[in-house]
Amino acid sequence: MILKDVRNRLRVGEPCRLIATSPVEAGVDLDFPAVWRAEAGLDQIAQAAGRCNREGRRDTAQSIVTVFRAAGHLPPREIAQLAGDMGRIAGRYKDLLSLDAIRDYFGEVYWRKGEGLDAEDVLKKFQMDQTGTGFAYRTVAENFRLIESGMLPVIVTRDEKAQEALKRLNFPNASTGRAARELQTFIVQVPPRARNLLITNGHVRFVEEKNFNDQFALLVTDSLYTDNIGLLWENADYLAIENGII
C-alpha cells in the first residue's frame, strides 16, 4: 500500500518524501527527483542513485544525489569501513559512477580486506579436479552467505494468510518448511539484542516452542508495528501496559 501511494504521488507530481531502508535502493522500481543517502560504499550509493531520475524524464543537472553523514548516529562498523574506502577515491574522479572509479573503489576494498573477502574459501571449492566435476555446491550453499546480516526474524501477522500459516503449526506433523515459506513475506529482521528485549518484555513469543524451538518468533504487541514505519523495535525495552497491571 505504501509503495502504491508513493508511485501515485510521484506520477502526478505530488509532494513525496520516503524514508526507507537499503532494500528499497536495490530492488524497488521508484523514480525520485532527488535522493539523500547516508554515507556508505560506492556500490551502495550507486544503487541509491538508481532511484533518482530513473526514467530519465528530468534534467540530469537537477537530479541530485546527496551523500550525508548522520549527526549523532555512527554507521555500523562494516558500513563505516566501506564509506572510508569510498572517501579515499572520491576526490580522484569527476564521475564516481565511471568504470575507472568503480574499479578503483573495489581495489580499495580488496586492499583493506584481501583474502577476508573469501573467508569461506568459496573459490577453492570450485577448482577443477582430475575428473573436472569436483565442485562442492552443497558445502558452499551451507556455509556461504552473500549478506551476513547478524539480524533475527520476527513474524508480524497482519494478514489472514500469515495467521492461517501459524494455525497450521498447531496440527500434528505440521510442515515447518511450508510454514516458513508462507511466512517469509511477513518477517521483519531486527538486531539480536532488540529481539531478546522484545521477548523479555512480552512483546514477542515463540510459536509452539516445545516443537519448533526458536524458529517462529511472533510479535504479540500489535501497537509496536505501524504501516508507515514498521516494527518499532527501538521500543523493545518498553514493558507492555497489560504486563504492568496488578
Mean pLDDT in residue range 13-23:
87
Q: What pLDDT is recorded for position 150?
A: 66
Q: Are residues 170 and 91 in the same domain?
A: no
Q: What are phi and psi of 133, to 5 degrees?
A: -130, 25
| Rounded Cα distance, 114 and 85, in Å | 13
Task: Find where cell 510459536 sits.
Answer: 207
Q: Are residues 77 and 164 in the same domain?
A: no
Q: Read off the DSSP letter of residue 241.
A: G
Domain count along the chain? 2
The pLDDT tens digits for 131-164 are: 666 677 777 777 776 655 567 889 998 888 888 8
In the predicted model, is pLDDT for residue 106 greater than 50? Answer: yes
Is 71 among the domain residues? yes
Q: What pLDDT is recorded for position 149?
A: 57
Residue type, 23: P
The boundaries of the domain holding residue 160 are 152-244
Q: Read off the DSSP letter of residue 225.
A: E
Is 133 among the domain residues? no
% pLDDT > 70, the chain: 91
Is 7 among the domain residues? no
Is 51 among the domain residues? yes
pLDDT level of residue 244 (50, 70, 90 thresholds): very low
Q: Are residues 79 and 162 in the same domain?
A: no
More confident residue, 107 or 180: 107
Q: What pLDDT is recorded for position 229?
A: 81
Q: Are residues 55 and 108 in the same domain?
A: yes
Q: What pLDDT is recorded for position 61?
A: 87
Mean pLDDT in residue range 190-200:
88
pLDDT level of residue 85 (50, 70, 90 thresholds): very high
In the predicted model, is pLDDT for residue 108 greater than 70? Answer: yes
Mean pLDDT in residue range 208-232:
85
| Rounded Cα distance, 126 and 233, in Å | 41
CB 209 within 8 A of CB 197: no
Is 95 among the domain residues? yes
Q: Are residues 157 and 230 in the same domain?
A: yes
| Rounded Cα distance, 46 and 57, in Å | 19
Q: β-strands 65-68, 35-38: how paired?
A: parallel
Q: Which of 116, 134, 165 is where one domain is finished?
A: 116
Q: Are residues 100 and 26 in the same domain?
A: yes
Q: Are residues 188 and 239 in the same domain?
A: yes
Q: Are residues 89 and 45 in the same domain?
A: yes
Joined grid coordinates for residue 236: 523493545
Is 2 among the domain residues? no
* 210: CB partners within 8 A, 6+ apart: none
The pLDDT tens digits for 25-70 are: 877 889 999 999 999 999 999 999 999 999 888 898 889 999 998 8
| Rounded Cα distance, 242 and 246, in Å | 9
In the predicted model, is pLDDT for residue 241 greater than 50? Answer: no
Q: Are residues 25 and 110 in the same domain?
A: yes
| 54 to 12, 209, 240: CA distances (angstroms) | 16, 46, 44
Q: What pLDDT is recorded for position 199?
A: 92
Least Cα distance to 200 among 164, 235, 236, 169 occurs for 236
More confident residue, 24 or 23: 24
Q: Which of 116, 133, 162 is where one domain is finished?
A: 116
Q: Are residues 110 and 163 in the same domain?
A: no
pLDDT level of residue 78 (50, 70, 90 thresholds): confident
More confident residue, 52 or 117: 52
In the predicted model, is pLDDT for residue 117 greater than 80? Answer: no
Torsion (CA) 230, 234, 238, 243 in degrees, nearest 10: 40
Is 144 among the domain residues? no
